Amino acid sequence: MSKLTHLDDRGQAQMVDVGAKDVTERSATAEAIIALQPETLKLIVEGGHKKGDVFAVARIAGIQAAKKCSDLIPLCHPLMLSSVNVELQADEDKSEVRVLATCKLAGQTGVEMEALTAASVAALTVYDMCKAVDRGMVVRSLQLLEKSGGKSGLYKRDS
């Protein structure tokens, strides 16, 4: 069984020492889904929300969250991200919004947590902006879809 890297031999929390790792190109893509009422999604898509462009605000929130990941997750390393991309897609048939967040860098540790943080905060921002009209929204399915780079190489979630 693999060892938890954020615990030392005594079971104490620790930040992993990545100093000896090679610098490689690394990327990660995460997804979050927000289920909402069809009327709420229509309001977002048609741009009729009184708070403004929901997707634009959520995109900026997701990017900002990726940059602040190490401030939010105690044992994450502060990273010099080279790219953060947050996309929000409306699926009117399912009455859902799909958030895709991709983070990239050349570094010594992965960017999975940054991508997951970006996707989750973008989804929470949609929730925050729409809660006045739809308290029944559900943020679900936060997951890593893909990561590449580093010693462990490529990971892709099975469909």
Residues marked as catalytic: 128
Phi then psi dihedrals of residue 77, to 5 deg: -80, 145
86's tokens: 């947050």
What is the widest separation between alpha-carbon atoms in the chain? 56
Long-range contacts of 16-20 (CB under 8 A, 24+ apart): 16/75, 16/77, 16/109, 18/77, 18/108, 18/109, 19/108
Phi then psi dihedrals of residue 23, to 5 deg: -80, 120
How many other C-beta atoms lie within 10 A of the C-beta of residue 49?
18
With tokens 């990561």, the residue in question is 147
